[in-house]
Chain A
């Protein structure tokens, strides 16, 4: 369930999440995560439409990245994907990385009000890039087992 936001007099804000009101007074506009959902806190100065739009875009994308990682875990890691599924997922991953790189440039702009999301965007990019490395890893299972057996003589098997 997506939260809804209610501007309050004086530029303060609150949000309704699961039927409960969270008081976000003096939040200054930021994202928080409730049950894995990125939530945009209302900017403290209503009327800055550009600022709000930028923050909404970044929060939306962070949310999409988390959804993508959840699907990846379920469909590509917890079970063996087919070659076609793997190829499609790698294409999707590359797209996610391209878009995240573009948004990272936006949040890195020193004049961007979305600059406060630089850490979050950088974290998601790191995770997406690591995912691509995971699926493009050229080492075979047999090679990995040989390396790990030599490195961990006390046991490397499952």
Chain B
């Protein structure tokens, strides 16, 4: 899998797996920031890429990808 796509999926997963309320906003902002960067670099519509990542996400989880940590943003 492309490392940038995997980083996007991990960012989204980190947001969805956050608990307690303190970090959710920050993690969502990080996911959106990554999304903006990738969409711009790949000349894709941001909403289209977002929808594709979200559609991919459950299948990626079911395939056994359970990230142990969120990679730092480049």
Contacts and interface: CB of A to CB of B under 8 A. Distances in A.
Interface of A: 31, 33, 36, 38, 62, 65-66, 69-70, 73, 76-80, 117, 119-124, 126-127, 130-131, 133-134, 137-141, 143-145, 147-148, 151-158
Contacts of A155: 1-2, 5
A91 B38 CA distance: 33
Interface in B56-73: 56-63, 65
A144 B24 contact: no
B20 A144 contact: no
A8 to B, nearest CB: 25
Contact of B17 (A73, A137, A148): A73
A147 B48 CA distance: 8
Interface string B9-49: 00000011111111111001000000000100010100011
Contact residue range for chain B? 35 or more
B22 A147 contact: no
If over half of B's interface residues share one DSSP class (helix, strand or loop), that class is named, otherwise mixed; here it is: helix
Contacts of B53: 144, 148
Contacts of B22: 33, 119-120, 123
Mostly, the A contact residues are helix
Contacts of A131: 16
A50 to B, nearest CB: 22
B23 A123 contact: yes
Given A36-B19, A69-B19, A155-B1, A126 B25 contact: yes
A137 B60 CA distance: 16
B49 A123 contact: no
B16 A127 contact: yes
Contacts of B4: 152
B16 A151 contact: no
Find the residue from B19, B56, B62 having the highest chain A CB count within 10 A.
B19
A101 B18 CA distance: 19
A62 B21 contact: yes
A80 B20 contact: no
Nearest to A33: B20
Contacts of B5: 148, 151-152, 155-156
